[in-house]
Amino acid sequence: MPMEVFRPKPGVRLRANARCSSFYRLAALWLFVLGMSVLAIVPAQAQRRELAASYQISKVVRTGGEVSFDLTLKVINYSGQSLRNAGIVLYGKPVQPAEENPVLGTFPLIKSFPSRAEISLTQSFTVSAAEYAGWGHGNDPRLVFLKPDAQLGTLQEPIDARRDFSPVTVTKAKTAGGVR
């Protein structure tokens, strides 16, 4: 006996198909919204900064091919944990492209840095005039936060520091024989 195929009468809708169709539409919409939410969260977590900072340069003195100055750094700890025995290093630009960035100096050791706290550190540095000039052309000093990790090593986290004060004027150093 041949198998009969069920065909509804023209103009008649079946309720079972309508319910099933709207269920699948709702499920597809829910999955789409869930997927978009996950895609929005992942980049937000990747861009999360654990340390935010601003800096000010003061007491600038140019002597020959070098510039001496005080660098005041204000750092806020957003990591959610207290940090202990941490340090901040000021790096320069490499002379040759294949070289590592040279260390220009360090700030004093930070014994304790509570979560959601702000610290202010000031340190004197002397850098080349070319390095200092680069900071005045939209390049901020390269600062790195060093903190101990669980395996007795050191983790390095770049600090995104922005200059928060207007540029300072550079004065020439006076010597016994006059101005250099």
If asked whether residues 85 and 167 sit together in one domain, one would say yes
Clarify whether residues 118 and 154 are in a common domain.
yes
- Answer yes or no: do 66 and 136 share one domain: yes
d(CA 143, CA 169): 23
- Cβ contacts of 177 within 8 Å, gap of 6 or more: none
Residues 138 and 165 in one domain: yes
pLDDT (mean) for 25-32 = 66
Same domain, yes or no: 41 and 55 = no
Instruction: Count up the domains in the chain and report the number.
Output: 2
Same domain, 30 and 86: no
More confident residue, 154 or 41: 154
Question: Which span out of 15-29, 57-71, 92-106 was modeled with the highest average pLDDT?
Answer: 57-71
CATH number for 55: 2.60.40.10
| pLDDT at residue 151 in the model | 83
Q: Residue 20: what pLDDT?
A: 55
Which two three-digit tokens encode residue 84?
């202990």
> Are β-strands 142-148 and 83-91 bridged in parallel, bridged antiparallel, or unpaired?
antiparallel
Q: Is the pTM of this model over 0.85?
A: no
Euclidean distance between CA atoms 35 and 17, whole angstroms:
27
Structural domain harbouring 20: 11-48
- Say what the alpha-carbon torsion angle 91, 105, 127, 139 is, to the nearest 10 degrees: 30
The pLDDT, as a whole number, for residue 126 is: 94
What mean pLDDT is predicted for residues 98-122?
88
Asked if 75 and 118 count as a contact pair (C-beta separation under 8 A), the reply is yes
